[in-house]
Amino acid sequence: MIIALDGPAGAGKTSTARAVAKGLGYFYMDTGAMYRAITLAVLNESESYSEVDAARISDAVSVDVRYIQEQMLVLLNGEDVTELLRTPWINKHVSTVSSFKAVREKLVDIQRSVARHMIDEGYGVVVDGRDIGTVVFPEAACKFFMIASPEVRAQRRYDELLGQGKPADYDEILQNVNDRDAIDSGRDVAPLRQADDALVLDTSTMSFKEQVSQVINTVLERQEQHDV
Ligand code: CDP
């Protein structure tokens, strides 16, 4: 069974998806991390890239995922780059690189084949991203669209970074959240959009625990109703 969690930057998808996967004994697939890995490969060559450059680089690199103790690792050309992906540098470029068709085609193929493999092995998978319920897995059994105001999302990112002892600038984070949302929603290929059959979760006033229980309970209800 596939659970799709989509929504704008910082809506809490990653942490929710991780906890839901743990609670249900599913695998978690972080598709944003894959887009970040290709962005890293592009930036490693040059910061002034064109769509053609990004397509060439994306075609030449390999992106794989591995699971070690329930954690998804992203391998770029066989090297574990997971820890290098959530930086301001990548935040700044990831939405532009992700708007390119060749990059999306490559990663959607990988996402589908990883999920197919897990399902064939008898596992469920929780997938988070922007186009999961609309494009990658339109057949997903449960779809959620997580939203919150940009200010709430930026504040959460800010608190998260401070909690990790990393430098954080609230205004810069808010700007990046707004910039990424605009590019992600406005692109031609697979824009950020709520699937018609997705349940909207406005997390602005929800605690983390509430978000996770709401998703898990909805999935369990669907299973009970033999809906899925
Ligand atoms: O965690 P956060 O919401 O900040 O971002 P992410 O999920 O790591 O995704 C980073 C960027 O990758 C997004 O802003 C999108 O530009 C892109 N992305 C995408 O286009 N499609 C996806 N399925 C996942 C991410």
Q: Tens digits of per-residue pLDDT, 173-187?
A: 999 999 999 999 999
Full set of structural domains in the chain with CATH: 2-213 (3.40.50.300)
Q: Please give the pLDDT value at position 131.
A: 98
pLDDT digits (tens, 9 = 90+) for 201-226: 999 989 999 999 999 999 999 888 86
Instruction: Look at residue 103 and tell me whether its pLDDT is greater than 70.
Output: yes
Q: d(Cα 38, Cα 97) in Å, to the nearest integer?
A: 8
pTM: 0.96
**Best of 98, 136, 192 for a ligand 1 pocket test (most atoms within 8 Å of beta carbon):** 98
Q: Please give the pLDDT value at position 180.
A: 95
CA of 68 to the centre of ligand 1 (A): 22
Region of 21 (left: φ > 0; alpha: ψ -120 to 50; beta: rest) is alpha
- Is the CB–ligand 1 distance for residue 12 below 6 Å? no
Give the C-alpha distances (Å, rounded to integers) separating 62 from 37, 75, 77, 80, 136.
10, 8, 5, 12, 19
Q: What average pLDDT score do residues 25-53 get?
A: 97
**Best of 14, 15, 18, 31 for a ligand 1 pocket test (most atoms within 8 Å of beta carbon):** 31
- Is the CB–ligand 1 distance for residue 99 below 6 Å? no
**Best of 39, 65, 82, 95 for a ligand 1 pocket test (most atoms within 8 Å of beta carbon):** 95
Q: d(Cα 26, Cα 28) in Å, to the nearest integer?
A: 7
Instruction: Look at residue 34 and tell me whether its pLDDT is greater than 70.
Output: yes
pLDDT digits (tens, 9 = 90+) for 106-136: 999 999 999 999 999 999 999 999 999 999 9
Instruction: Look at residue 227 and tell me whether its pLDDT is greater than 70.
Output: no
Return the closest-CA partner of residue 95 out of 45, 54, 153. Answer: 54
Confirm if 14 and 213 have CB atoms less than 8 A apart: no
> Tokens 């972080």 correspond to what residue?
30
Instruction: Look at residue 228 and tell me whether its pLDDT is greater than 80.
Output: no
Nearest C-alpha to atom 21 of ligand 1 is from which residue? Answer: 130
Q: Please give the pLDDT value at position 226.
A: 67
Q: Please give the pLDDT value at position 224.
A: 86
